[in-house]
């Protein structure tokens, strides 16, 4: 039995990544999964130096410690010194890479693969490829302005309108994110698109998006969130990308451009010209790939 301590900082994006990897591990091998919250007052460098981690006193000794986010780094190091186990940290850590047993990062972060570094196609997520998507179900995932992308509500609404009107046989669910500017969903409602139903991000549970991705044969996403893009691709749906103006192109934009060049993703302009959204024949499943590697390193498979 593999005992996993999953360190959580309360941030949904970080928890999505560690839970995706933990669930993949547990699908491949017998596991016991323990959740260790570290938000608020947490152990720091002093606890690590002293080899103290009181939270672990009532838990079974870990074989593997997982965490994402800077707040989990010192607690994981303190826990390893106190109770043993190996550490796999997701996302580029704020501490030296050599302090961790494995570092799992998206390839757009620019770290080379190595003995302790595993690069992934985008952030790890919980999504599994869908065996039977509904050809009449579509999903639109709307983000908002970011460090790399600006915002044009009028241009985006026009893109949503064209996608919906050209495919009236598809029932579209559209959801926002915490960065979606106020008023966008109201503007969408005023567009009177009969086959588009909008759902606010704060009106759904964390399980809602995986459920919808399991059903949708087509997914359209805005380019500002690598997580949204790779969740859509992992589902196995055909994926289109709406267009937003650049603000300050960086690693997320570079990763997106590579997906477009590799024909893994279809940009709106290309879809508008061709009218085609190619199938997603080789969806990534980075959680399972990384889980297999970790289990091999740990001698469990």
Distance CA 7, CA 2 (A): 16
Q: pTM for the complete prediction?
A: 0.90
pLDDT, residue 115, reads 87
Q: Is the pLDDT of residue 277 over 80?
A: yes
Q: What is the mean pLDDT of residues 119-145?
A: 94
Band (41; pLDDT cuts 50, 70, 90): low
Residues 6+ apart with CB under 8 A from 186: none
Per-residue model confidence (pLDDT) at position 130:
87
* Higher per-residue pLDDT: 242 or 281: 242
Cα four-point dihedral sign 248, 16, 99, 97: negative
CA distances from 134 to 83, 137, 279 (A): 47, 5, 14
Confidence of residue 50 (pLDDT cuts 50, 70, 90): confident
pLDDT tens per residue, range 4-35: 999 999 888 899 999 999 999 999 999 999 99
Minimum mean pLDDT range among 1-10, 36-45, 91-100, 162-171: 36-45
Q: Tell me if 2 sits within 8 A of 25, measured CB to CB.
A: yes
Average pLDDT of the segment spanning 139-153: 96
Most confident range, picked from 134-138, 205-209, 225-229, 278-282: 134-138
Q: Using an 8 Å Cβ cutoff, are 176 and 185 in contact?
A: yes
Residue 40 has pLDDT above 70, yes or no: no
What whole-number distance in Å separates Cα of residue 219 and Cα of residue 139? 5
Q: What is the pLDDT of residue 265?
A: 95
**Domains assigned to the chain:** 2-125+287-297 (3.40.50), 134-274 (3.40.50.2000)
């Amino acid at each position: 039995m593999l005992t996993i301590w999953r360190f959580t900082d309360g941030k949904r994006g970080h928890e999505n990544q560690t839970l995706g990897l933990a669930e993949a591990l547990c699908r491949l091998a017998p596991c016991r999964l323990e959740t260790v919250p570290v938000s608020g007052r947490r152990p720091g460098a002093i606890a690590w130096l002293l080899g103290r981690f009181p939270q672990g006193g009532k838990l079974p000794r870990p074989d593997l410690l997982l965490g994402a986010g800077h707040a989990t780094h010192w607690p994981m190091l303190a826990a390893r010194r106190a109770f043993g186990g190996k550490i796999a940290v997701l996302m580029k850590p704020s501490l030296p890479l050599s302090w961790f047993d494995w570092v799992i990062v998206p390839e757009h972060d620019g770290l080379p693969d190595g003995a302790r570094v595993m690069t992934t196609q985008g952030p790890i997520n919980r999504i599994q490829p869908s065996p039977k998507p509904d050809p009449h179900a579509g999903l639109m995932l709307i983000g908002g302005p970011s460090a790399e992308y600006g915002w044009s509500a009028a241009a985006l609404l026009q893109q949503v309108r064209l996608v919906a009107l050209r495919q009236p046989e598809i029932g579209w669910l559209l959801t926002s994110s915490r960065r979606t500017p106020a008023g966008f969903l109201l503007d969408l409602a005023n567009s009177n698109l009969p086959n588009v139903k909008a759902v606010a991000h704060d009106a759904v549970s964390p399980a809602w998006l995986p459920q919808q991705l399991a059903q949708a044969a087509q997914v359209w996403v805005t380019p500002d969130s690598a997580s949204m893009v790779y969740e859509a691709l992992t589902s196995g749906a055909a994926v289109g990308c709406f267009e937003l103006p650049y603000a300050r192109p960086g690693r997320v934009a570079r990763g997106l451009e590579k997906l477009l060049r590799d024909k893994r993703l279809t940009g709106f302009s290309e879809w508008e010209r061709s009218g085609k959204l190619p199938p997603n024949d080789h969806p990534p499943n980075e959680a399972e790939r990384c889980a297999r590697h970790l289990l091999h390193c740990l001698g469990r498979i």
